[in-house]
Every structure is written in structure tokens, then in C-alpha cells.
């Protein structure tokens, strides 16, 4: 019985140490994420990427908000550095980890594809946003689609996107239509 007590005490101490180490690691990840965001805001994207990578554990689990945010911000850094394939990879990993703002990730993926000249994939991600929320008020989505259709010479589609935004109550598009005497009401 005497030997068992120290062993039980030893096991409890080990459990406490393991639990404490896990908590410290999680706090460290948050610290790295916070430091990365500060560097991101300063425009120090290479340094921010290093901090975000430190915030990401070896594997990503669905619901890991720290890793999801770190991947999202890493993707944004890569965009600013014009490293679009890397940004797309990071945004995909943010989605795998369960980044909650799907529309924002889809828009950023659309931006990367747009900047690479892959308009089909850019349209695909804009349409994913519109499919999820047909009444979205995010003017960036409508403008992106409008620009792509204008680049392609698809003027009717470009105008339809503006009209859709106006019908959704976006005053910017309603003003656009009024100035051009275009009716958006059906």
C-alpha cells in the first residue's frame, strides 16, 4: 500500500504537468496569432507569416479556430505579396480547419484567382457566396463579377450583376442605375 500512494501521486502530478503544458501551448498559439495580426496590420507580411505558422499545430482539426484564423491571415499575407497559389492553399486550409466566415474566404479565393487571370474560378467563388446568401450586401462580390464580365465583353451579364445588387437594396448600385437611367425594378 505504501508503494501505491507515491505512484498515484506521481500519476496525478504527471497529469497536471501534461494539462499545464497543453494550456501553455494553446496560450502560445494565441500569442503567435496576435503577434501575426499586429505585423499584418503594419504591412510586415513575411514576418506575419512566420508568426501565423507558429500558431498552427502540426495538423488541423475541424473547429480549431486558432489554426483556421492563422491560415486565413497567412492567405491574406500571401495575397499582398502577390503569391496567389500560396494564398489559395492557405485559404483552403482555413476552410478545412472550419474558418467560420465562409463568404470572406470565398471572396479572398476569388481575389487570388482573379489576380492570376483565372476568371472562371473567380466567378465560381463569387457564385458560391451568392448561392449561400442571394441577398448579400457585399458590394465587392457584385463589382468583381461585373468587372470580369466586362473584361470578357459580356456586357449583358455585367449589367445584370449591377441590377441584381440594386434589387437587393444596395444603394451604391441603385445610384449607379439612376445616373444611367436604368430601371432595376422588375
Domain positions in the chain are: 1-100, 120-186
> With contact defined as beta carbons under 8 Å apart, do 168 and 136 qualify?
yes
Q: What is the pLDDT of residue 12?
A: 44
Could you give the CA distance from residue 73 to residue 118 in angstroms, rounded to a whole number?
A: 22
Could you give the CA distance from residue 184 to residue 175 in angstroms, rounded to a whole number?
A: 11
| DSSP for residue 58 | S
Angle between helices 45-55 and 4-41 (to 10 degrees): 160
pTM as predicted: 0.79
* Confidence at 15, pLDDT banded by 50, 70, 90: very low
Q: What is the pLDDT of residue 62?
A: 87
| DSSP for residue 169 | T
Q: Where are the alpha helices (DSSP H) in the chain?
A: 4-41, 45-55, 65-80, 84-96, 102-116, 119-132, 139-151, 155-167, 171-179
Write out the DSSP string of 69-86: HHHHHHHHHHHHTT-HHH
Chain position carrying cell 500560396:
86
pLDDT tens, residue by residue, 130-157: 998 888 888 999 999 999 999 999 999 9
> CA nearest 90: which of 56, 63, 40?
56
3-class state of residue 136 by DSSP: coil
Could you give the CA distance from residue 114 to residue 151 in angstroms, rounded to a whole number?
A: 11
- CATH number (3.60.70.12, 1.25.40.10, 3.30.1280.10, 1.10.357.10) of 1-100 reads 1.25.40.10
pLDDT tens, residue by residue, 89-145: 999 999 999 999 999 999 999 999 999 999 999 999 999 999 988 888 889 999 999
Residue 186 burial (C-beta neighbours within 10 Å; 0-12, 13-18, 19+): exposed
CA distances from residue 107 to 21, 119, 137 in whole angstroms, order as listed: 37, 13, 13
Amino acid at each position: 500500500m505504501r508503494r501505491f500512494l507515491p505512484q498515484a501521486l506521481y500519476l496525478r502530478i504527471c497529469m497536471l504537468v501534461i494539462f499545464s503544458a497543453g494550456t501553455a501551448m494553446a496560450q502560445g498559439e494565441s500569442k503567435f496569432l496576435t503577434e501575426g495580426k499586429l505585423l499584418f496590420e503594419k504591412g510586415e507580411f513575411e514576418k506575419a507569416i512566420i508568426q501565423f505558422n507558429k500558431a498552427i499545430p502540426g495538423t488541423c482539426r475541424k473547429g480549431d479556430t486558432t489554426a483556421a484564423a492563422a491560415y486565413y491571415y497567412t492567405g491574406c499575407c500571401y495575397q499582398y505579396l502577390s503569391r496567389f497559389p500560396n494564398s489559395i492553399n492557405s485559404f483552403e486550409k482555413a476552410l478545412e480547419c472550419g474558418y467560420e466566415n465562409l463568404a470572406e474566404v470565398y471572396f479572398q479565393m476569388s481575389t487570388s484567382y482573379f489576380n492570376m487571370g483565372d476568371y472562371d474560378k473567380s466567378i465560381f467563388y463569387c457564385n458560391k457566396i451568392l448561392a449561400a446568401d442571394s441577398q448579400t450586401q457585399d458590394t465587392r462580390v457584385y463589382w468583381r463579377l461585373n468587372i470580369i464580365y466586362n473584361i470578357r465583353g459580356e456586357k449583358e451579364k455585367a449589367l445584370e450583376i449591377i441590377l441584381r445588387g440594386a434589387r437587393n437594396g444596395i444603394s451604391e448600385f441603385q445610384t449607379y442605375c439612376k445616373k444611367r437611367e436604368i430601371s432595376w425594378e422588375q
